[in-house]
Copies of this chain bind each other. A is one copy, B any other.
């Protein structure tokens, strides 16, 4: 685990700051209670104002949440910064990459951090921004066998109170394998998580809320992307280095954290899937039901448990199943990273769900087993957050 850098000058003189033995400013004491007081020195005044505005009832409750962020790149770093500035209780950061000058076209990291591990650099910056947040950083790749076990352990025990699970996992990784790894862990643990991503051409992105057993998991259906009216062949050319923009990544991180706040602050309903098409300022949303034939047996197990839970609810609390909308058109497209022909692609890909107009499959699931046909249905509207929260509490 990386060494924790010694921090000074975390804040200018302000309530809670003390002078150290060397006369310099030292790490200030934790602000015990978020104050709504409207003074320039109060870092929480504009957040606590959300209560006065009637947006949330108990903003302070954000300090009781622990969130794990996997991937501290263009989306993950901004996600971590937003949560830090919002005053989250604890952040667990996972990444094994180093900061490079080639990352400077995205927000957050600075040139002088080149060469540092991303989690170490991020922790240093974030502690300076808000010393009230607890940080736990892991400089490793979660997809190796050994690290996967440790990752599972930290998700299960790394909550605000050691031994309790984290409240949410956010996937901000840039590859299929890492997403599948998070999916496997969360299906096994019954851990709610959110997926995010930005396309290789930098002009579209998505977020997805996954509640094991209740909504489609990452293995239930291939990830979706909004058709960007770009010839997909241009995406495959060379394929050496993906394009990226601070704008798209900032928007995806912003919408991701906004939905985290909605999910945990009961602000409103969180969408289970939202796409961002930057070319057309198009933001379609939808929800996806789990696939009863999902390859992940823990997903199927969670589905069974969820069914039992719903069946056990008193009649009036039973969540109404929305009518399935059958999409007659079967159009779909594929955006891909690797250099294969469309024919190979279609042959190697699993069946593709019927999708609303304008939504296509981002990429296909490699090594799809036999012909287990996923019965994925796509709805045009999400469930209300109150329902989701109620269900989560019952887990």
**Could you tell me which A residues sit within 8 Å of B by CB distance?**
9-12, 14, 38-47, 49-50, 52-55, 78, 81-82, 85-87, 100-102, 104-107, 110-112, 114-115, 128-130, 200-203, 230-231, 234-235, 237-238, 240-248, 250-251, 253-255, 257-259, 261-262, 267-269, 271, 274, 278-283, 285
Contact = CB atoms under 8 A, between A and B. Distances in A.
Contacts of A271: 281
Total copies of the chain: 2
A53 B240 contact: no
A211 B235 CA distance: 34
Contact of A47 (B10, B45, B105, B110): B105
A237 B36 CA distance: 14
Contact of A102 (B45, B81, B106): B45
A257 B253 contact: no
A267 B204 CA distance: 13
Given A54-B234, A278-B258, A81 B41 contact: no
A53 B102 contact: no
A129 B104 contact: yes
A49 B242 contact: yes
B53 A201 contact: yes
Nearest to A242: B49
B235 A115 contact: no
Q: Which 9 pairs show the lowest CB-CB distances between chains A and B?
A: A54-B234, A251-B254, A49-B243, A250-B254, A40-B100, A11-B111, A12-B114, A43-B104, A247-B258
Contacts of A44: 105
B102 A85 contact: no
Contact of A43 (B12, B105, B112, B254): B105
Nearest to A382: B281
A46 B102 contact: yes
A246 B82 contact: yes
Given A46-B102, A47-B243, A248-B254, A54 B231 contact: yes
Contact of A46 (B46, B241, B258, B259): B241
A47 B82 contact: no
A78 B274 contact: no
B201 A43 contact: no
Contacts of A246: 81-82, 85-86, 254, 257
A279 B266 CA distance: 11
Given A45-B102, A45-B241, A107-B107, 12 more contacts: A12-B101, A43-B101, A47-B105, A49-B241, A50-B243, A52-B234, A53-B234, A53-B237, A86-B246, A247-B254, A247-B258, A269-B280
